[in-house]
Amino acid sequence: MNKNTKIYIAGHNGMVGSAIWRTLSAKGYTNLMGASSATLDLRNQQAVKEYFAQEKPEVVIDAAARVGGILANNDYPYQFIMENMLIQNNLIDSALQAGIEKFIFLGSSCIYPKLASQPLKEEYLLTGDLEPTNEWYAIAKITGVKTCQAIRKQFGKDYVSLMPTNLYGTHDNFDLNTSHVLPAMIRKFHLAKENNHAPVTLWGSGTPMREFLFVDDMAEGVVFALENKLPDYLYNVGTGEDLTIKQLAETIQKITGHQGEIIWDSTKPDGTPRKLMDVSKMHELGWKHKVDLEEGIQKTYNWFLEHVKEIKEVKM
């Protein structure tokens, strides 16, 4: 991969896209491009086609998506399936029509069946029912994976899908209505600490197990896929290690300095019992994560403290 290759990063202002941009810049890539949602509406097919025709990217990295936790997925199922399909279909098809040879599609571990054997292997895709609380987002992402696979099969282009485990890190979404579990916990424990170490109420039983990957490690995985022609169409990207939600809460409580009580609201859903990724395929090719969970949470909390005044609640 030439360091002057024109690389378009869709979603470059988001947590994942900005990490990819930072990582590529640090490695000497000089021809990166992105467009804000105000400049380019990725849901608009004609606008995307015109943008590609005008800017002529040579590689596309799709880190753009409408994302959220259990609450957001449950309350806005139509937006989660439709907007994500519009975004990815427009990007993938425009790239194909423009003759772009390399496309990296980013998905999520929620594409795998709710009760699949652990750890989750790539071949488990489409072998069982999805987790109902986020099936809308999962179905959209599955169509993206299969579309890239179809292009790979029919046209022989290097279109590859990377499925990250739960991502977190700097530039995360800390909105309590739409955020994922880790950033939501950081904000809850921080606010409770500021409120004289008030009790923190968390959803569920605390028993489900989850795996978390620091976003800069994900960005390194994307660069690995960029600089190498991966032999298969689908790869998991994670740590291969997990912990209970209760252990996560206790870790975040320690890092934020909260000393109050944790209350588990068992009337709220737990979601999938366990989602551990089998990352052996990426390991065999030579990629492995570097940042352990405690270090990553500390970095994320430091960033949160620096930007806490800028964080606003998001209206759906």
- The residues assigned a catalytic role are 137
For the annotated binding site, the residues are: 11-17, 106-109, 141, 164-167, 180, 188, 203, 210, 270
Q: Which two tokens stand for residue 233?
A: 């169409």
Q: Which two tokens stand for residue 87?
A: 């975004």
For the annotated binding site for substrate, the residues are: 188, 203, 210, 270
Instruction: Tell me the C-alpha to C-alpha distance, in Å, between residue 183 and each of 68, 242, 260, 311.
Output: 11, 17, 18, 12
For the annotated binding site for NADP(+), the residues are: 11-17, 106-109, 141, 164-167, 180
